[in-house]
Amino acid sequence: MAVILIVDDDAALREGVAETLSDLGHVPLEAADGQAALATLAEHAVDAVLLDLRMPGLDGIEVLARIRARPDPPPVAILTAVATASNTIEAMRLGAVDHLTKPLGRADLAALLERMLPAASFGPATAPVQQAREELIGASPGMRDIQKTIGLLADSDATVLIAGETGTGKEVVARAIHRHGRRRNRAFIAINCAAIPSDLLESQLFGHVRGAFTGAVTDRAGSFREADGGTLFLDEIGDMAPAMQAKLLRVVQERVVQPVGGKPVPVDVRIVAASHRDLEAAVRQGSFREDLFYRLRVVPMILPPLRDRLSDILPLAEHFLGVDSSARTPHRLSRQAASLLLAHPWPGNVRELQNAMQRVIALVRRPVIEAEDLRFLGQVPTPTAEPVDWLAGDLETAVARLEAEMIRRALARSGGNRAEAARQLGIHRQLLHAKLRRQGGEPSGNRTEGVGQADDPAGSS
């Protein structure tokens, strides 16, 4: 049961809507104009507002703006007899949940209230905690290994090579290495080697002196010297031209840069490189220097794709929903929406998930995000489909359910090859065999969804 404020100068319409609201189990309050509506809001706790657009005195747009300016504004839907492009855009810009044309039938009103007043949500009803955008989110085995590696190497000067698909968060990891290390108070300089033309990259990295070439009207320090004492992040290193690879090799070996037209200058720089390409394959093909590859790959780090981090998807989604301080209404995921996110393959990895949550924040004014709001992902379940409730039951059952799905996906990706599936899961092959025996021992791995119990942690690798 919710308290709904109806604001309309048409008494007959107010009475009709109030009667329908009562039939739907809600408590209606009525206001004949904008001033009366604001006075009612000051005196009563209201869960939602149905607001007419054209009224004497304060119009609906002005009332909406004043309601949204309140510390904890209720959701507002605009109901108008004459909808125009301008008033629709302005209402949505000011924070209306929807902008609908009167009259509204019972079914439409019930559907509107269902959007404005979700009965259930996934996760706690409190607003998400604001977090730093660059924080490493995830407790999956793969991400735990990455976090441990960062802690081990943060204070060293060892060169790091980060591999991973596009969108897995390579720069986020590079910044975490810098932020947690002894160089944290010095500069972090990030350069995308694929975004800078080859003929300009040398000057960008090593600098130049005035007059070294046409257009060099002033001295330029270059990224290596700008990062002196700190960290230089060379993103997409696999796209660097062979001639620049040779020059970079010398700098990596000697930590001395030579500006274009200038003299050698020593630098104290921690180098972190990254690429979405398979650099080992590039070395075999002759497109990437083998000596540079091994100079950069002192500490290799491989970021797992999001599809292999099933347990991290929902924490990441909630994180992205919480870090947008411009969102005036805290957003949470319904259970169906959460199930959809877990089922999506995420070819764009964490970046795709972040963009999806930003899109939802921009377009959804309700506090709870439903599966329908994620239709653009292309996998909205049919109304008859029963979503997987990943958190149902006790902890042991929930962990077993997640474990079964991860095993199923790993076997599917590896074509039933258990050794490869075990490698993807980060466990010993013998442990995978034990898990499969527990669920029936299917040689093909096609019955992994039948896992009934989580493994004893003491038996894991």
Asked, for residue 231, whether it belongs to a domain, the answer is yes
Residue-wise pLDDT for 128-186, tens only, equals 334 444 468 887 888 888 988 998 888 899 999 999 999 999 999 999 999 999 999 99
Asked, for residue 123, whether it belongs to a domain, the answer is no
Structure tokens at 72: 């904890």
SS3 354: helix
Residue-wise pLDDT for 380-435, tens only, equals 555 444 556 666 767 777 777 788 888 888 887 777 788 888 888 888 877 887 78
57 band by pLDDT with thresholds 50, 70 and 90: confident
Burial class (CB in 10 A: 0-12, 13-18, 19+), 324: middle
Q: Considering its fold, how many domains does the chain have in total?
A: 4
235/342 same-domain check:
no
pLDDT of residue 328: 55
Provide the percentage of residues in the chain whose pLDDT is more than 90: 40
263/149 same-domain check:
yes
Distances, alpha carbon 225 to alpha carbons 186, 199, 229, 258, 274, in Å:
12, 19, 9, 10, 20
30/82 same-domain check:
yes
pLDDT of residue 128: 39
Q: Is the pLDDT of residue 448 over 50?
A: no
24/90 same-domain check:
yes
Residue-wise pLDDT for 263-322, tens only, equals 999 999 999 999 999 999 999 999 999 999 999 999 999 999 999 888 899 889 988 888
pLDDT of residue 380: 53
209/279 same-domain check:
yes
Asked, for residue 341, whether it belongs to a domain, the answer is yes
Q: Is the pLDDT of residue 126 over 70?
A: no
Domain end among 377, 406, 421: 377
Which residue has better confidence, 198 or 166? 166
Residue with tokens 């309050």: 29
pLDDT of residue 6: 94
Q: What is the CATH number of the domain that holds 249?
A: 3.40.50.300
Query: Mean pLDDT over all residues of the chain?
Result: 83
Q: Is the pLDDT of residue 235 over 90?
A: yes
440 band by pLDDT with thresholds 50, 70 and 90: low
Asked, for residue 229, whether it belongs to a domain, the answer is yes
Helix axes of 349-363 and 313-323: crossing angle, nearest 10 degrees: 50
177/296 same-domain check:
yes
Supply the range of the domain harboring residue 408.
Answer: 395-459
Burial class (CB in 10 A: 0-12, 13-18, 19+), 260: middle
217/293 same-domain check:
yes
206 band by pLDDT with thresholds 50, 70 and 90: very high
Q: What is the mean pLDDT of residues 191-219?
A: 86
Q: Is the pLDDT of residue 459 over 60?
A: no
Structure tokens at 33: 């104009």
Asked, for residue 128, whether it belongs to a domain, the answer is no
Query: What's the CA gap between 120 and 362, in Å, rounded?
Result: 22
Task: Give the residues across from 4 on adjacent strands.
Answer: 28, 48
183/296 same-domain check:
yes
Asked, for residue 347, whether it belongs to a domain, the answer is yes
Domain end among 302, 325, 356: 302
Q: What is the CATH number of the domain that holds 71?
A: 3.40.50.2300
Q: Is the pLDDT of residue 461 over 70?
A: no
63/163 same-domain check:
no
Domain end among 377, 411, 427: 377
CA dihedral 62, 67, 70, 72 (to 10 degrees): -160
Strand 265-266, strand 256-257: pairing: antiparallel
77/97 same-domain check:
yes
Asked, for residue 124, whether it belongs to a domain, the answer is no
Q: What is the mean pLDDT of residues 319-330?
A: 66
Provide the percentage of residues in the chain whose pLDDT is more than 70: 86
Asked, for residue 125, whether it belongs to a domain, the answer is no
pLDDT of residue 304: 93
216/246 same-domain check:
yes
pLDDT of residue 384: 45
pLDDT of residue 329: 59
Of 233, 232, 231, 224, which is closest to residue 267 (Cα–Cα)? 224
Q: Please state whether the peptide bond connecting residue 103 to the residue before it is cis, i.e. omega within 30 degrees of 0.
A: yes
pLDDT of residue 325: 45
Q: What is the CATH number of the domain that holds 342?
A: 1.10.8.60
294/312 same-domain check:
no
